[in-house]
Structure 1
Amino acid sequence: MSSTIDGQPLRWRGDTFHPYHFNCASCGSELTADAREVKSRPGYTANDMNELYCLRCHDKMGIPICGACRRPIEERVVTALGKHWHVEHFVCAKCEKPFMGNHHYERKGLAYCETHYHELFGNLCFICNTVIYGDVVTALNKAWCQHHFACATCDTKMTQKTKFFEFDQKPSTSR
Structure 2
Amino acid sequence: MSSTASTEPKVCAQCKENIQGKCVQAMGANWHEDHFICGNCKSKLIGQQFMDVKGAPFCQKCYLAKHADRCKGCSKPIADKAVVALDAKWHQMCFRCSKCEKPIMKDQSYKIDSKTGKPHCVKC
Which TM-score band applies after superposition, normalised by the shorter structure? 0.7 to 0.9
Aligned to 1:171: 119
Using the alignment, how far apart are the partners of 2:117 and 2:42 within structure 1? 40
Q: d(CA) in 2 for partners of 1:156 and 1:173?
A: 8
Q: What secondary structure does 1:111 align onto?
A: strand
Match of 2:20 in 1: 74
Higher mean displacement: 63-72 or 128-137: 63-72
Q: Give the Cα separation in 1 of the matches to 2:21 and 2:47.
A: 14
Larger radius of gyration: 1
Distance 1:107-1:146 versus aligned 2 partners, 3 A rule? same
> 1:151 Cα deviation (Å)?
0.2
Counterparts of 2:81 and 2:101, CA distance in 1? 20
- Write the deviation string for residues 77-126 of structure 1: whole angstroms up to 9, x where unpaired: 11345542111211111111111132322222222122222333322111
Given the alignment, which residue of 122, 141, 144 partners 2:68?
A: 122
- Return the structure number with greater helix share: 1
Matches within 5 A, 1:93-112: 93-112=39-58
Which one has more relative contact order, counting CA pairs under 8 Å at least 6 apart?
2
Letter in 2 for 1:160: K
Q: What is the RMSD computed on CA atoms of the aligned residues? A: 2.2
CA contact (8 A) 1:92 1:112 kept: yes
- Equivalence map 1:1-175=2 (5 Å): 62-81=8-27, 83-167=29-113, 168-174=116-122
Please state how far the C-alpha of 1:136 moved relative to its aligned partner.
1.0
Cα distance change, pair 75–169 in 1 and its aligned pair in 2 (3 A) = farther
Secondary structure of residue in 2 paired with 1:119: helix
Following the alignment from structure 2 to structure 1, what is the Cα–Cα distance between the partners of residues 102 and 15?
A: 55
Q: Secondary structure at the match of 1:62?
A: coil
Where does structure 2 lack aligned partners over 5 or more consecutive residues? 1-6
Show structure 1 runs of 5+ residues with no match. Answer: 1-60
Secondary structure, aligned partner of 2:63: helix
Identity of aligned residues (%): 26
TM-score (norm 1): 0.56
Please give the alpha-carbon distance, in whole angstroms, between the structure 2 residues aligned to 1:70 and 1:122.
28
